[in-house]
A and B are shown apart, each in its own frame.
Chain A
């Protein structure tokens, strides 16, 4: 279908982290704790990469480095050929307009005082799209996430929507600006089952129909395997394993991956699993 909006240089990765290191002041103010340590990662165009790891592994820090919300202490982040560190405020803002962040709790990302039409049009307004162009794009995005008839939703406030509808509005915001890169920060972990499927469907749609790349952050290997082309395992600020999704999840090599996998096996039991193991 449509190509990415700013695809002047379709060769080369869309996003590259080169030896990125981030440290925070340690707990109790003593010393520095490394949140990310020598992380190198590249995300190709139209690729879905899952970043998996336990809490405290540095996943959220990685997301803020990618979005240019946090400047790494060492190494650099390069988006579509331009190193983020070399950009001034204004240029960085323009670059961010080509990215979109999906939150853990997408409802919290909706301004409670605004109506759906404004909320979904916001990424366009931020990018400077003239008002007359926004309307049709908003309507298209709403239709795409299954909020039909569109007219019935445009004038509602978030509190007048059900949980699922709010979720869809948040997702329409991700679609409407045709971002080149979508970063999803644990978007499924707090959601009900029916909404989880909506997220997964949207992530695929972003790639297949809009040509976006997706960085999907999660602690759930099973989810990562279903959604991503490639899985990157992060542990204590370092990338310990990466490869094609099935390769990493079905044949893990690093102890950290094994530990996650073991936990995923132990935590859950689905319909066709055998009896629960005695513990």
Chain B
């Protein structure tokens, strides 16, 4: 439990924003269209040789060198009207949008941040506004309040503010639980300061896309009003042009080509431009949309030769697996990993965040995120290479034979369905419906959840209980191998023991094989049979846990152990791994741990050490690992007694 644990902020949005190709192309097209309209509006007095409101020639003239689009029913220049009309559309569109969004934001901030009565009253007002018919309301009010441009801008804004207000308020409700907002409150910042510097800033993406949308509607509504003859009589707009054209039956004559078509096209160009630009703005605001954009994927052909058969007694054999993430800074998240899960044993996979342990798990599951790709290696499971069996078969293996207990029990469950229903849904994969329900009940009971609570929702459960539900879901289809990704992170120590004991008992009882991923090495040292320690995408040490705990051979392993506080021993002494993990996009040429290693040799900076032993034995990727005399020189900053037997 934590003060600010309620909302997990999406972090993807905080990386540099980059638009997908489609969004960029559409955005450019939109901006180009808008640009034409804006230029026409700005340069209207230069472009048009005649004033738009004055009678300058005979009525109903055809287009000529003098009057490019001819004249209207009383002899005003149509081209002048067209370019000046851009001013009206733009100013009303932008003005109304800014006004509406300003009001909507203020309402959203007060309602969402102050809450209570403010929220009640303001949101009822929003509901009321939303139920009113927009265009009719504006028309009625125009008749009452007059036709001036300023009046119609305010009128349009007064019906447009409610929708953004509602959307923004729900965003405010979310943002106010974000860590930095709570932090500012805890610091003693005033409500005004918190809403303006912390909450408002997080509304900007939504605000900008709503602004574009409001502008689009405002342009159309303004044109509609003017077309109905309620436009500003002193200002010519595209809507009034169409009104006069219609009144003079231009639609029925040849004049539609120069009287109706140009303002219609201009209106279409402006609205289309806004819509296209809005598409790009929306993706900029919500970068996750980019993932849904169509994109080309390049796949290299797989090598044709058959892989070496899987070794006997192994549940999973990973061979020189590489996973690469593309983009402007390509990163090799997994850089050539060899790892074996032996039958009936628990493999503990340890490493700091960013070491590639979760990516490795996802690669085995066939769930590498869209931006990444397995570039090399074999994943031998059940006698075949999972990379060669095709997507459909991979999906069949997933859940039925291989199951993942995902990270963060808080977010992996559906909050609006009972836990029983969720386990049942997982069991449906292999069970007929009637049996699935019974099986789900049995499984929940097996992981220690009281039958009376099976129909409860995830938020009624503690973190430890939710983790158990996830384990029950993983078990639903009797898999042979389970990968548990950080199953105890965020749990208190009592629940950590409960969950680990549960996993351990399941392995014995159901003849499962288990991989447990954790950043807590001492925890794995207690519960696993074999250990593998990852650093910067590679396994740096692995072996049976007894050997490894008695005599770790990689300096990183040793430092990692020392950085966890002990219950006994001198007080106040906790070690650390000095320095920071390397930038995955720029790994050192030699050993990736060299910059942080207290006993690095000159050779370590240039030559990368490989694991020095075969599978199943204790092996370390370190130039010092084989040299016992040098090994005793390892610095041990925790002051942990260095008297290892042997």
Contacts and interface: CB of A to CB of B under 8 A. Distances in A.
Secondary structure dominating the interface of A: helix
B574 A272 contact: no
A60 B3 contact: yes
A265 B585 CA distance: 39
A103 B4 contact: yes
Nearest to B179: A108
A269 B550 CA distance: 11
Interface string A146-184: 000000000000110011110000000100010000000
A97 B185 CA distance: 10
Nearest to B492: A219
Interface stretch (B59-67, B563-571, B622-630): B563-571
Interface string B436-473: 00000000000000000000000010111000000000
Interface stretch (B70-78, B87-95, B422-430, B497-505): B497-505
Given A193-B564, A226-B573, A260-B494, A94 B549 contact: no
B284 interface: no
A111 interface: yes
Nearest to B355: A192
A50 to B, nearest CB: 12
Contacts of B3: 60, 63-64, 69, 101, 103-104, 185
Contacts of B572: 226-227
B489 interface: yes
A54 interface: yes
B490 A193 contact: no
Contacts of B574: 196-197, 200, 223, 226
A162 B567 contact: no
Contact of B523 (A190, A260, A267, A279): A267
Given A163-B353, A190-B489, A269 B14 contact: no
A157 to B, nearest CB: 8
Nearest to A98: B188
A67 B186 contact: yes
B603 interface: no
Contacts of A245: 571
A112 B504 CA distance: 41
A18 to B, nearest CB: 22
A200 to B, nearest CB: 6
Interface string B504-534: 1000000000000001111101110000000
Contacts of A185: 2-4
Interface string B182-204: 11111111100100011001101
Given A103-B3, A113-B201, A126 B491 contact: no
Interface stretch (B40-48, B112-120, B226-234, B576-584): B576-584
A279 B202 CA distance: 50
Interface residues of B, number: 84
A241 interface: no
A266 interface: yes
A120 B565 CA distance: 29
B434 interface: no
B312 to A, nearest CB: 27
A173 to B, nearest CB: 8
A163 B549 contact: no
A223 B565 CA distance: 6
Interface stretch (B216-224, B275-283, B554-562): B554-562
A259 B197 CA distance: 45
Interface string B391-407: 00000000000000000
A271 B561 contact: yes
A251 interface: no
Contacts of B202: 113
A86 to B, nearest CB: 17
B570 to A, nearest CB: 9
B522 A268 contact: yes
B10 to A, nearest CB: 11
Interface centre among A200, A222, A259 (most CB of B within 10 A): A222
Interface in A86-142: 92-97, 99-101, 103-105, 107-114, 122-123, 126-127
B357 to A, nearest CB: 12
Nearest to A105: B179
A9 interface: no
A189 interface: yes
A194 B576 contact: yes
B494 A111 contact: no
Nearest to A275: B546
B565 A220 contact: yes
A164 B580 contact: yes
Interface string A5-21: 00000000000000000
B560 A193 contact: yes
B522 A269 contact: yes
B183 A127 contact: no
B579 A103 contact: no
Contacts of A63: 3
Interface centre among B354, B504, B567 (most CB of A within 10 A): B567
Contacts of B178: 108
Contacts of A268: 520, 522-523, 525-526, 564
B2 A271 contact: no
B129 interface: no
Nearest to B529: A276
A59 interface: yes
B1 interface: yes
Nearest to A167: B580
A186 interface: yes
A261 interface: yes
A216 to B, nearest CB: 12
Contacts of A99: 186, 188
B467 to A, nearest CB: 12
Contact of B577 (A104, A159, A194, A279): A194
Given A190-B489, A266-B497, A267-B496, A279 B188 contact: no
Contact of A219 (B197, B493, B500): B493
A54 B526 contact: no
A63 B182 CA distance: 13
A114 B179 CA distance: 14
**What are the nearest 3 A-B pairs in CB distance?**
A108-B179, A197-B576, A96-B188
16 contacts: A54-B493, A60-B3, A93-B188, A101-B186, A104-B4, A108-B9, A113-B201, A189-B490, A192-B353, A192-B519, A221-B493, A269-B526, A269-B549, A270-B561, A271-B552, A273-B549
Interface of A: 27-28, 53-56, 59-60, 63-64, 67, 69, 92-97, 99-101, 103-105, 107-114, 122-123, 126-127, 158-159, 162-165, 173, 177, 185-186, 189-190, 192-194, 196-198, 200, 219-223, 225-227, 245-246, 249-250, 259-261, 263-273, 275-276, 279
Given A54-B492, A271-B558, 14 more contacts: A55-B462, A56-B1, A103-B179, A109-B4, A109-B182, A113-B204, A162-B581, A194-B579, A194-B581, A245-B571, A246-B571, A264-B493, A268-B523, A273-B549
